[in-house]
Amino acid sequence: MADTTHIAGGHAPTNTVAATAYNPVVSVDVPPGTPLAPTDDGDAAVPARAIPSAAFRCAGLASAAGAANGRVVVQPAGVLTLETAQWDAITAQSGGLTKGRPYYLSAGVAGKITRIKPSDSGEVVAEIGIALSSRDLLIRVSDPIPN
């Protein structure tokens, strides 16, 4: 997104709720934009995948790269801005995101998002967000629904 300061005002809002940050430990290297799901193993998260046998309850997207066995900050909502090449690594597209279109958690590969809504039985539909440009995704994670 471009210039915002003149509209947003010169200071941060003071009446907002300070939520606890979600920065779990990941077991594998994750690039920025990776959809992550919490596991039942303490404070860990893994790349999410839209099938019931995998971790499909996505909590948000990695806002930066994370190294295996280290912590990564997960962005659960709002606009996430990445380079087009970084999005391409997550979407398997080229040229970045497709603006105006929704993105879903991939059923085929863990840690990916896709423009194609999962439709097969045995898959779940979990909306992840809406692309505002080739570089900006408005994250809005929905509760997954089985097909």
Partner 1 sequence: MTDTSHTFGGRSPTNTVTATPYNPIAGEDFPRGTPVAQSLDADHTVVRAQARLSEMPYVTGLSAGVGVSGERTLVQSTGVLSLPTSVWDQVTGGSGGLEQGSTYYVDPDDAGILTSTQPAGFDDVQVAPVGIALSPQDMMIQITFPRDAS
Contacts to partner 1 by CB under 8 A? 1-4, 7-8, 18-24, 42-43, 63, 71, 73-81, 99-102, 127, 130-134, 136, 138-140, 142
Q: How far apart are CA 55 and CA 74, in angstroms?
A: 15
Q: How far is the CB of 47 from partner 1 (least distance, A)?
A: 18
Considering the complex, state which of residue 108 and residue 117 has its C-beta at the smaller distance from partner 1.
117
Neighbouring C-beta atoms of residue 72, cutoff 10 Å: 21
With 0-12 / 13-18 / 19 or more C-beta atoms within 10 angstroms meaning exposed / middle / buried, residue 17 is exposed
- Bridge partners (DSSP) listed for residue 26: 45
Considering the complex, state which of residue 53 and residue 74 has its C-beta at the smaller distance from partner 1.
74
Considering the complex, state which of residue 8 and residue 109 has its C-beta at the smaller distance from partner 1.
8
